[in-house]
Structure 1
Amino acid sequence: MARKQQEKSKQTKNELMRSAENLFGQKGFMATTVAEITAHAGYSKGSFYRHWVSKDKLFMEIVENKLKEYRSSRDERLYKANSLEEVMHIIWDFLEIIVRDENWAKVFLEFTVYASRIPELRNDLSLSQYRLSEKVFAELVSDFVETDYPPEKLGAFNTVLFEGYMVQSALGTGIVDLKDIRGAALTVALANGLKEV
């Protein structure tokens, strides 16, 4: 009996998450309400609050799940990488997957701005499971950096390029494409991370 209840609870949670993800993609984070999420999924608001204390926490769980999915293919390739250039391409392939999920990239950007004003969310969002932080980036490239240039600085630079591109892309004002951004990131990484021959 308890097992059936656990399975039903898991199914309810998954259906609510799918509903939320769909509505966030269509309407945005701020415009989507808990009532809309539950009605869209065919559940009561009580079902929602049995799984999450707020819409914010639901969103964070969706982000974490999406990034886990994206990272799985990246991590396999990183394990086989042999050079800084190869690692950089793998990282930017991963970032391009996020950008290609256009609606979701915009919603994540919207949530990032929203979370920046709420200290708890801002702190949560800075954790590595929610974004490619400078620390995570440094861990990915550090074995291939041959100079004393801080890998965290390379990570910060790549984050700035990527997030700046996402803003331009969301606004539809970008004249620089992702290929240009990747090229700039690669140039900076190789120029600072490799010893001159």
Structure 2
Amino acid sequence: MSDSKIISEPPAANSGKQRRTKKTRQELLRSARAIFAREGFEHARLEDIASKAGKTRGAFYANFKDKEDVFFAIFEENIDRDIEELNRLLLGLPTIEQRTQALADYLSKLSKDRERILLNLEFKLYAIRHPRKRKRLADLHGVMRLRSSMPELNRLIPLLREHSTKTKLTDSLVICAIVDGLSLNHLFDPEVLDNQVLTHYLNLFMREFLSGNSRGINKNEVVTLAK
């Protein structure tokens, strides 16, 4: 029998290393959120993200490939949190009306998250300014939105389960467009589009949108929503 031994880290050491790696990743994500929101996606530097987190450039590349990669990690983190919170909210409510109100209230809360709204807008602007990347980024965005938002809508209206993937992606993008538009103008002029008005229009939109998906939106409903 050979005297040589296979040396491996004990489970406790592996667990500690995993915790440190996860902690480093979370610190880089928090830093990236702040830098992207402050400087804009395109002007943000990897060195600044690493420095703000107290990490090296090498630590950044050990966790992320590039700025796009770290953004999507931020986006996926948001989605995971949204799913967890919406599951708790919606599954405990017995009626469609209550679930619709809860979803509208949740979207209203997200619309007041300045950092998150700026991050969403920055990344979309980056994709629009770079046509060669736009399709790939839009596809990735769509896949994540489909994974995150449609299960909650399916719980609101069972009929949506029968919709095609394309229709669900369109529905999801419509919701994003309304939230982005209201949120941007809320940040731009909060005295006019204040919290109460913002919540009112989100509630109106969700009621019309969900009723439209169950019956088919007609011209009169579109006019009503636009007012």
Count of paired positions: 191
Task: Pick one of 159, 162, 181 that aligns with 1:164.
Answer: 181
* 1:106-131 Cα distance to aligned partner (Å, 9 max, x none): 12111123234422221111123588
Task: Name the CA distance, whole Å, in 2 between partners of 1:7 and 1:149.
Answer: 41
Task: Name the CA distance, whole Å, in 1 between partners of 2:125 and 2:152.
Answer: 22
Structure 2 residue 43 is the aligned partner of structure 1 residue 31: yes
Task: Name stretches of at least 5 consecutive residues in structure 2 with no aligned partner.
Answer: 1-8, 216-227
Output the aligned Cα RMSD: 3.2
Taking only the aligned residue pairs, the percentage that are identical comes to 20
Which residue of the partner structure matches residue 62 of structure 1?
Answer: 74
Moved more, 74-83 or 185-194: 185-194
* 1:79-100 Cα distance to aligned partner (Å, 9 max, x none): 1233322221122122122112
Task: Name the CA distance, whole Å, in 2 between partners of 1:138 and 1:53.
Answer: 33
Task: Pick one of 136, 141, 160 that aligns with 1:120.
Answer: 136
Which residue of the partner structure matches residue 185 of structure 1?
Answer: 206
Which has more radius of gyration?
Answer: 2
Q: Normalising by structure 1, what TM-score? A: 0.77
Task: Name the CA distance, whole Å, in 2 between partners of 1:69 and 1:127.
Answer: 17
The one-letter amino acid paired with 1:80 is: G
Task: Name the CA distance, whole Å, in 1 between partners of 2:185 and 2:75.
Answer: 21
Mapped contact 1:63–1:130 kept (Cα < 8 A): no
> Which structure 1 residue ranges, 4+ long, deviate > 6 Å from structure 2?
148-151
Which residue of the partner structure matches residue 30 of structure 2?
Answer: 18
Q: Normalising by structure 2, what TM-score? A: 0.68
* 1:150-193 Cα distance to aligned partner (Å, 9 max, x none): 98476565444223323433544975633123224314534663
Q: Decide whether aligned partners of structure 1 residues 81 and 143 sit closer, same or farther in structure 2, where only a CA change above 3 A counts.
A: farther
Task: Name the CA distance, whole Å, in 1 between partners of 2:146 and 2:38.
Answer: 21
Mapped contact 1:35–1:45 kept (Cα < 8 A): yes
Task: Name stretches of at least 5 consecutive residues in structure 1 with no aligned partner.
Answer: none
Task: Name the CA distance, whole Å, in 2 between partners of 1:154 and 1:41.
Answer: 37
Q: Give the match's secondary structure for 2:44.
A: coil
* 1:10-36 Cα distance to aligned partner (Å, 9 max, x none): 222222112112222333322221010
